[in-house]
């Protein structure tokens, strides 16, 4: 048994279940990051599309600094022409980095509102916007609930995609650059958001149980879903690999990113340190798919990084009374 799973399992045994309705997690002296409080890993309600959309916003907002860093990813820069590299280099040392550093200390607060309930509250230049914010780092970001849920192909409401949410957050945080002397236009920020979205999509795997035969044809809201973003690439300003792990069951959305985070050799202030040791391999996250485990399901995420040759994270799902599955424990 490898170090990661051993310590997570040990911690699971030594830690009482968090909340009865919540799954058990291996929380404790894990070799990676941590320790984390139960509240940090607790799921957010996601029974309705609006709840899921809100939870997705809250989770992704935790990583706003990294979202902005991905905009400047090394591989991304390498793939672009000299002019873009110059822009990236400038941004790396300039306002973007300072904004990221401030965001790590003080994340922006999200405030959910509704244009329908309060007409005019999200209108800018005569157009209804999905979000708005001020011009200081840490200014609250107001999100228009009317536009974060849409009608899905089955006629049921569904949240907008989490990559779209990432693009919106990048756009809104871009407005905070005004405090550092930059004033990007809406169009420029839309472009930044689209780049981050593309970049995220490139490193992301989404596994839904129930989307393809022979799995049962579950409604979207009931499909257990594992979203893994794993980059072997380096986020330049942190200079280490970053990854996210979100899990959705029939009732909750979980942010388990901390369980797959590697020890940070990066400067905690997010600064660029060319002499810091690099993670070469990173945590290459993969998921072969879901397998039946008794009446429930098991999803296994495999990965490796520079310290241990192989790590494994098992997600166990148990059947839910009203249909679908609930995350039971993490090993």
Chain residues binding other proteins by CB under 8 A are 75-76, 79-80, 127, 153-155, 198-199, 201-208, 211-215, 217, 289
- One DSSP character per residue, 79-100 reads TS-HHHHHHHHHHHHSHHHHHH
Q: How far is the CB of 218 from other proteins (least distance, A)?
A: 11
Minimum CB distance to other proteins smaller for 215 or for 300? 215
Minimum CB distance to other proteins smaller for 3 or for 128? 128
* Three-state SS at 32: coil
Minimum CB distance to other proteins smaller for 201 or for 269? 201
Instruction: Please state, in angstroms and as integers, the Cα–Cα distance from residue 242 to each residue in 21, 38, 95, 260, 275, following that order.
Output: 30, 22, 21, 9, 18
Q: How far is the CB of 158 from other proteins (least distance, A)?
A: 13
Minimum CB distance to other proteins smaller for 50 or for 75? 75
Q: How far is the CB of 246 from other proteins (least distance, A)?
A: 15
For residues 73, 78, 82 and 88, what is the CA-based torsion angle, rounded to 10 degrees?
10
Length of the chain: 331
Whether residue 316 contacts residue 293, with contact meaning beta carbons closer than 8 Å, is answered with yes
Q: How far is the CB of 220 from other proteins (least distance, A)?
A: 10
Q: Which phi-psi region, left, alpha or beta, contains residue 165 (left: φ > 0; alpha: ψ -120 to 50)?
A: alpha
Angle between helix 49-62 and 162-175 (nearest 10): 50
Q: How far is the CB of 211 from other proteins (least distance, A)?
A: 5
In whole angstroms, give the CA distance from residue 225 to residue 134: 34
Minimum CB distance to other proteins smaller for 118 or for 154? 154
Minimum CB distance to other proteins smaller for 118 or for 151? 151
Sheet holding 44-45, edge to edge: 44-45, 252-255, 243-248, 225-230, 204-208
Minimum CB distance to other proteins smaller for 105 or for 116? 116
How many CA within 13 A on the CB side of residue 141? 29
Q: How far is the CB of 5 from other proteins (least distance, A)?
A: 24
Q: How far is the CB of 245 from other proteins (least distance, A)?
A: 17
Question: For residue 124, which phi and psi values (nearest 5 degrees)?
Answer: -130, 125
């Amino acid at each position: 048994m490898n170090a990661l799973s051993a310590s997570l399992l040990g911690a699971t045994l030594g830690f009482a279940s968090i909340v009865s309705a919540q799954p058990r997690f291996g929380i404790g002296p894990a070799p990676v990051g941590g320790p984390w409080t139960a509240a940090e890993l607790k799921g957010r309600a996601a029974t309705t599309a609006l709840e899921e959309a809100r939870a997705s916003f809250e989770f992704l907002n935790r990583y706003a600094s990294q979202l902005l860093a991905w905009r400047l990813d090394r591989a991304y820069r390498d793939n672009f022409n000299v002019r873009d590299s110059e822009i990236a280099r400038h941004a790396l040392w300039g306002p973007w980095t300072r904004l990221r550093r401030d965001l790590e200390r003080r994340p922006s607060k999200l405030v959910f509102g509704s244009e329908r309930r309060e007409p005019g509250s999200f209108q800018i230049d005569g157009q209804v916007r999905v979000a708005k914010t001020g011009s200081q780092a840490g200014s609250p970001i107001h999100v228009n609930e009317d536009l974060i849920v849409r009608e899905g192909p089955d006629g049921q409401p569904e949240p907008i995609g989490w990559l779209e949410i990432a693009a919106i957050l990048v756009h809104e945080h871009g407005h905070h650059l005004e405090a550092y002397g930059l004033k990007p236009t809406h169009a420029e920020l839309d472009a930044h958001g689209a780049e981050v979205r593309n970049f995220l999509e490139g490193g992301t795997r989404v596994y839904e149980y129930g989307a393809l035969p022979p799995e049962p044809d579950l409604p979207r809201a009931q499909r257990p879903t594992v979203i893994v973003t794993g980059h072997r690439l380096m986020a330049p300003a942190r200079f280490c690999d970053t990854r996210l792990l979100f899990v959705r069951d029939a009732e909750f959305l979980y942010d388990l990113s901390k369980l797959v985070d590697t020890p940070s050799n990066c400067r905690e202030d997010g600064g660029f340190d060319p002499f810091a040791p690099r993670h070469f391999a990173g945590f290459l996250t993969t998921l072969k798919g879901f397998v039946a485990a008794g009446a429930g399901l098991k999803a296994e995420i495999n990965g490796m990084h520079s310290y241990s040759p192989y790590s494994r994270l098992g997600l166990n799902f148990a059947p839910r009374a009203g249909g679908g599955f609930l995350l039971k424990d993490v090993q």
